[in-house]
Structure 1
């Protein structure tokens, strides 16, 4: 048992901080003097893409649980013990042509119902916690996937950012329970909209005001069908604004320094490559989508819809594993939520989905005063294991074995 004495417990349920002794289940017998420190539940990123190379960066920023929204079963099984808990799906199901190309180690691209259902069976056998579908999926395939998933007690999550035919109301009618990025709701509000429309058509749509009555009708329909959204606001904002952080401390943090110096997880190379291809027209569209999704999120919270906090790291640009959760928390300050509400949403409410766990953060500063204080970590506790912050930073990833496995997996799915 780990005993933390006289610590400032951040009581998110009762919205208060109280000095108390906290016991954490563990095979180790450790007593910690918590005086002057703060203890809170670990953060849960509800939309991200973890890899063996990035796993430690989540813990280093206080993320102890991740909902992995697409990846590969074999590669995720290579993640070592210095990692958050992973609530995962693996290959996502898309239409053909696939938005990420033909079927591979990360996706199943098909317009055939039988092939898609075989994909659902594969994911179920692998122990996936849910099924993910993508923007080019055909309606008949989506309907069949949702039906089969329901029979297997698996919810379906949809990233329909680039859809041309399935808006949020259709998705909900078929039984989709999660709209990643709050996607396809904009399509329900502006029926002529999709991400491939001309500049002239986009200008026409973007200059029209959202119909508040229509917004309420759409979101009420989704709420009644128990649809959850994960808005990933930082993703939209960085695609619109570039490498500008809503908390200046992010760029100067120990976490960013560790990311910058990582020779295995070289995410900045990926971000710079994407950034070089982004033009002004794309940024304008992303800024508009960011504003739309903020308005959608605000209204959904207002009417009692389920909203979860996630980042999509490391997709897009400048969205970092673990670290970007602090930015995303800050985005939620504009929704008439106080710091206790936001942290409860990012911990207690999220873990009601992924499964309650015994994961905590021992912090040197008060996270209620400012979310940046979450980055000033003393110790991370994950299911009975304790990790000093310096230990996480110094952890070495077995890069050669990871590369070898990646090459094998690539060949395996090329053959399939």
Structure 2
């Protein structure tokens, strides 16, 4: 059975209450003289005024003509670019009974411009967290959460599989998270019951199930491109899961890329969304950077030392496996890039996600890396930005999110530089609008300082 990815989460005693931040929800927020990237098409609207009221965009117009109230909170956007907030579509929140440590994780996402997260390993307290984020009691992104993991151990009989689906629907989770190890029979029960009670399912593709059965079953999204590379390898039927490796890391260099069109066309025709989490491949699985080099990257200061040590040891363990051949693994990473590009070209819906916090993926920071990996795979900066803005909004069936227009939710990021020209501009954040609040650069820097691990 495929080993579950180690969810190495940040545990902290930080307790940040909403009242620590000046409450801008009671006044208009005005961003003036700003370049707007509305994301409805590839364009920049120069010298605009954007007015936010009650957490929504009330007006967008030419800075020379738009008027606003004297009591407004005014932000000078001169020379800056305003874009929709990003969605981390494969996020993790500590699956524990104490809600306090969760606050640090969701705050870190928000401080880096992530205004929506899809939690991919649920816990009963996440339902409470979702409510408190929605009300503004806790500062952080909008949360869509799965239920607890449905895998080969938790759903080891047809009866337990059916019960888990029904119980999670009744509890109010947004979707089901499937993990590895499911048998075909139990998988079929999960699918049948999920469709009966009308709850989506997403996540991993169990090795015994395979990607073709997963596509036919109607996943809401297949994450990590799990099963994709495996489906391209001739003779994989005679290989064990251990020989193939996690996401086919040991054998992916054998992939027959002429099979890619058949796969991506099936994904498109069955309306299966894909969350590649390419950061896992480029940072954890790839030999390009050593564990020691990754551990010294600036954002690692926000991770607890024991977590960071665990990440280093996890990558070292992978690279010391007798089946790990650096040249072969790098070719495998390139196969994944080809799959991402082929999905984009074929019209498969791509969702931005990095699996943070996960091996060398720090919340928020890793999503910026994921954007660069999307561009590295062949997407334009605009196409890459869509995977974290327009596409998630479409996935969640929301026409009031992912774009900048009157009436849309004001989940916005103000950046220094045009990300349509250089995707790395998303890293240089001047401010974040989230749930009616304005998180200024000063506030962001102050809170990031508090989050540093000594």
> Normalised by the shorter chain, which TM-score bucket?
0.7 to 0.9
After the TM superposition, which residues 360-371 of structure 1 pair with which residues of structure 2 at under 5 Å, given as runs? 360-371=412-423
Q: Tell me the residue number matched to 1:387.
A: 439
**2:137 matches 1:86:** no
Instruction: Report the Cα distance in structure 2 between the residues aligned to 1:203 and 1:323, rounded to whole angstroms.
Output: 24
Q: Tell me the residue number matched to 1:118.
A: 163
- The 8 Å contact of residues 142 and 174 in structure 1, kept in 2 or not, is answered as no
TM-score (norm 1): 0.80
Instruction: Report the Cα distance in structure 1 between the residues aligned to 2:204 and 2:252, rounded to whole angstroms.
Output: 22
Instruction: Report the Cα distance in structure 2 between the residues aligned to 1:292 and 1:381, rounded to whole angstroms.
Output: 37
- The 8 Å contact of residues 250 and 325 in structure 2, kept in 1 or not, is answered as no
Q: Tell me the residue number matched to 1:221.
A: 266
Instruction: Report the Cα distance in structure 1 between the residues aligned to 2:362 and 2:352, rounded to whole angstroms.
Output: 14
Say how many residue pairs are matched: 374
**2:48 matches 1:20:** yes
Match of 1:297 among 317, 340, 344: 340
Instruction: Report the Cα distance in structure 1 between the residues aligned to 2:250 and 2:112, rounded to whole angstroms.
Output: 42
- The 8 Å contact of residues 90 and 119 in structure 2, kept in 1 or not, is answered as yes
Instruction: Report the Cα distance in structure 2 between the residues aligned to 1:39 and 1:198, rounded to whole angstroms.
Output: 44
Q: Tell me the residue number matched to 1:328.
A: 370
Shift in Å, 1:43: 0.7
**2:172 matches 1:144:** no
After the TM superposition, which residues 16-415 of structure 1 pair with which residues of structure 2 at under 5 Å, given as runs? 16-18=43-45, 19-26=47-54, 29-51=72-94, 52=102, 53-74=104-125, 77-78=128-129, 81-96=138-153, 109-160=154-205, 163-190=206-233, 191-192=236-237, 193=239, 195-197=241-243, 208=254, 210-212=256-258, 214-241=259-286, 244=289, 256=299, 259-261=300-302, 267-280=307-320, 281-282=323-324, 284=326, 286-315=329-358, 317-354=359-396, 355=398, 356=401, 357-395=409-447
Shift in Å, 1:302: 1.6
Q: Which runs of 5+ in 1 are unaligned?
A: 97-108, 400-416
Shift in Å, 1:326: 1.1
Residues 146-193 of structure 1: CA distance to partner in whole angstroms, max 9, x if unpaired?
A: 122122322211312xx3321111112223232111111223222335
- The 8 Å contact of residues 151 and 179 in structure 2, kept in 1 or not, is answered as yes
Instruction: Report the Cα distance in structure 1 between the residues aligned to 2:33 and 2:294, rounded to whole angstroms.
Output: 29
Instruction: Report the Cα distance in structure 2 between the residues aligned to 1:320 and 1:89, rounded to whole angstroms.
Output: 21
Instruction: Report the Cα distance in structure 1 between the residues aligned to 2:389 and 2:263, rounded to whole angstroms.
Output: 28
Instruction: Report the Cα distance in structure 2 between the residues aligned to 1:203 and 1:261, rounded to whole angstroms.
Output: 28
Instruction: Report the Cα distance in structure 1 between the residues aligned to 2:441 and 2:376, rounded to whole angstroms.
Output: 31
Instruction: Report the Cα distance in structure 1 between the residues aligned to 2:240 and 2:280, rounded to whole angstroms.
Output: 18
Q: Tell me the residue number matched to 1:407.
A: none
TM-score (norm 2): 0.74
Over 3 Å counting, the alpha-carbon distance change for 1:207 and 1:222 in structure 2 is closer
Over 3 Å counting, the alpha-carbon distance change for 1:77 and 1:395 in structure 2 is farther
Over 3 Å counting, the alpha-carbon distance change for 1:273 and 1:77 in structure 2 is farther
Q: Which runs of 5+ in 2 are unaligned?
A: 1-27, 56-70, 95-101, 402-408
- The 8 Å contact of residues 89 and 129 in structure 1, kept in 2 or not, is answered as yes
Shift in Å, 1:204: 10
Residues 346-365 of structure 1: CA distance to partner in whole angstroms, max 9, x if unpaired?
A: 11221222342420011233
- The 8 Å contact of residues 356 and 363 in structure 2, kept in 1 or not, is answered as yes
Instruction: Report the Cα distance in structure 2 between the residues aligned to 1:388 and 1:112, rounded to whole angstroms.
Output: 51
Instruction: Report the Cα distance in structure 1 between the residues aligned to 2:450 and 2:301, rounded to whole angstroms.
Output: 19
